[in-house]
Structure 1
Amino acid sequence: MSINRQAKARHHRIPHNFDETGLHVDELQTVPAAPISTDNPDSDSNEQASENGTLEHSTHEEVLAIPKDVPMFTVDPHNPGAVLRHYLLRIQKYSSYTFCGFLALHYSAVMLAPAVTRAIGPNDSATSLLLFGRAIYQASPAIETGLVAGSMVVHVLSGVIIRISRLRRDRRWYKTPLRELFSSSRSKSPTPLPSSSSSSATTFSRISQTGWLLVPFVSLHAYLARYVPLKIEGDSSSIDLRYITYGFSKTPYLSSIGYFAMILFTTHHVTYGLAKWLRISKKNMKYVRSLSGLALVVALLGVHVVSRSSSTGAVLEPWLRAKYDILYEYSIKSIL
């Protein structure tokens, strides 16, 4: 009887908004369920921490706050899936560095030089830079394949395999069909799946979004400017900025929309993607944003000069105009 009275007295002494542990009721939160894993739970948690450290699917603020002394790639050697993603992430990273080498040469010739000189012609600085770049990355088929096409294909394919592997991992962790994983990532209401885990495979960061959106635009540009001339003529020696200008004169609206979208997506994907790989700190993100904005303005100005160089199209030699007509007609027929 005395024990019951003591318990009641102790209960009455506790304020209504506190529990018996002394925690304020308003501070209590619902913790999402932990992943169900049939494998070693420690290896899965280490893998998730490692993949979060790679900054692949997080926002810029979350990503760039990771300290420099934290290893970017850590992996449990006893987890085959984590090992696969570990090496694929490295392949994706260094293939992007390789493609950026080509992109720097191409950007300086077709965007920076026209923006500075405000002129397009067979003997201007833009054409000279373009020919200089070709002398480097078209010196041999192996160099062009590895530096340009190979690095881009490897970068995209590694990203596809990583995402598929993470989807398989999430299905194993949560015992949930893929449809529910995607629906939980799109839903803004509370879900039984932790957001950090569902976002790893079923949501796309802005870097990933712009990367996937770039694939059709870059593929079409490579098809028009490199594959078709190589197939019809055997080389692309006659292709320079006048070829792009002539395309603007034939399809002004489609060309304007296509190049604007490709430049916008490329600028964001490259600048923020490099910031991700280089692990730029949050306080230095203002420099990344400034660099991204500057690169975008210069690129748009250069393409504007190329698209508006109507005088260049007017002085095209008849044989060159006829050659460009053949190339564009073949491209349009093959696409449509």
Structure 2
Amino acid sequence: MHNSSSSISSIDDLHRVQPSPIYVLDDGESNSNNDSSKKSINKPKKPTSKWLIPILYRVQKYSAYSFLSFLGIHLTSVIVVPILPINPEIKNEVFSITKAIYHDIPFFESFVIIGSSLTHILSGIALRIIKNYKKNQIKEKQQRHKLNSENIIKINNSNIKLEDNDDEIGLGGISSIFGLGYRKSFITKYFNLTPLQFSGYLSIPFLIYHFYKFRYIPLSIEGDSSLINLDYVNYVLNLKFPLFNEICLGTLVWVVSYHVTNGILKLNSLYSSTWKKIGLGVVNTIGIMGMISIWFFKNDKQFLFNGNDFVGKAFKKYLNSYFL
């Protein structure tokens, strides 16, 4: 009796409910619903800088290598060969041959020299603008979230120990030569530029003046620069503001050699102290050779010639046509 009464009471507890359809989703429908639900979620768009910065780095890298193909040829003919103890006529022949490469090959000057250098400069400026913008955004976020003082000191303290791959060190400078270790460059401290960036910007006016003096002026007067040879360098260093032109050529050699050497190491991720020493050695070697070459051009009588002949008169006309 007890069992039957309990079963009756449990039946009484049951309630009638309104029937409702039950849908069973197959795999296809479930996947489509999941996809639609995912699409409905507003995902943040990938920041422009995330894809733009790598592209600009590649543009800067390969434009630099393009310009190097010209620079290596040119430096060989105006720095290395002139200081060799060989016949002056051979030196001028080598210069003429190398000049024919970048003047006579179609579009070489337009694309490899002018085009690649402008592309390199503009991509570098674009990278700097984007990076500065990102830094300002980070600073604003730090101020909004009120980072603790320890993190703020870590970010802003100028006495932080720098790693070997830090761009603010550059190639090390004088302190590393005398065994004083690597220190943050004063260029970064006072100009907010890395040594690589500073040397790049500093080389621009010297490169423009060099192009103007040795290429543009003869081109604008004669229609080409076929008369330009190593004798013209001697002419420039002796007759038209000689000290100023010596300083310009010397500075051009040192600054460009530093920028190119430091840039090659950076592009190939060579940051160790050993590579920094090798880089400084390359810069100093090229710089010293450049100074010797300038001294040869100015003082060695083998480059002097009769200024009253046709070529000499043309050179005088070139020199008198520009201000410096």
Give the TM-score, by structure 1 length: 0.65
Change (3 A) 1:210 1:171: same
Using the TM superposition, give the Cα deviation of residue 137 of structure 1 relative to its aligned residue in structure 2, in angstroms: 1.6
Query: For residue 124 of structure 1, what is the amino acid of its counterpart?
Result: I
* Pairs aligned (count): 241
Query: For residue 330 of structure 1, what is the amino acid of its counterpart?
Result: S
Matching residue of 1:93: 61
Alignment counterpart, residue 226 of structure 2, candidates 210, 224, 237:
237
Q: For the residues of structure 2 that align with 1:114 and 1:93, how far apart are their CA atoms?
A: 31
Q: Is the 8 A contact 2:231 2:305 kept in 1?
A: no
Superposed counterparts of 1:156-195, under 5 Å: 156-175=121-140, 193=156
Q: For the residues of structure 2 that align with 1:79 and 1:173, how far apart are their CA atoms?
A: 14
Matching residue of 1:209: 198
Matching residue of 2:80: 112
Query: For residue 214 of structure 2, what is the amino acid of its counterpart?
Result: A
Superposed counterparts of 1:23-38, under 5 Å: none
Q: For the residues of structure 1 that align with 2:264 and 2:223, how far apart are their CA atoms?
A: 35
Counting aligned pairs with the same residue, the percent is 23
Matching residue of 1:124: 90
Matching residue of 1:295: 286
Q: Is the 8 A contact 2:234 2:297 kept in 1?
A: yes
Q: Is the 8 A contact 2:230 2:303 kept in 1?
A: no
Change (3 A) 1:173 1:194: farther
Query: For residue 321 of structure 1, what is the amino acid of its counterpart?
Result: G
Which one has more relative contact order, counting CA pairs under 8 Å at least 6 apart?
A: 1
Matching residue of 1:276: 266
Matching residue of 1:258: 248
Provide, for residues 7-27 of structure 1, a one-character-per-residue CA deviation record: whole Å limited to 9, x for no partner: xxxxxxxxxxxxxxxxxxxxx
Matching residue of 1:220: 209
**Alpha-carbon RMSD:** 2.8
Using the TM superposition, give the Cα deviation of residue 82 of structure 1 relative to its aligned residue in structure 2, in angstroms: 2.6
Q: Is the 8 A contact 1:118 1:305 kept in 2?
A: no
Instruction: Please give the secondary structure, in 2, of the residue aligned with 1:103.
Output: helix
Matching residue of 2:117: 152
Gaps of 5+ in 2: 1-43, 142-151, 161-167, 169-187
Matching residue of 2:314: 323
Using the TM superposition, give the Cα deviation of residue 331 of structure 1 relative to its aligned residue in structure 2, in angstroms: 1.6
Using the TM superposition, give the Cα deviation of residue 194 of structure 1 relative to its aligned residue in structure 2, in angstroms: 7.3
Query: For residue 305 of structure 1, what is the amino acid of its counterpart?
Result: F
Q: Is the 8 A contact 2:250 2:291 kept in 1?
A: yes
Using the TM superposition, give the Cα deviation of residue 97 of structure 1 relative to its aligned residue in structure 2, in angstroms: 0.7
Gaps of 5+ in 1: 1-42, 44-76, 177-188
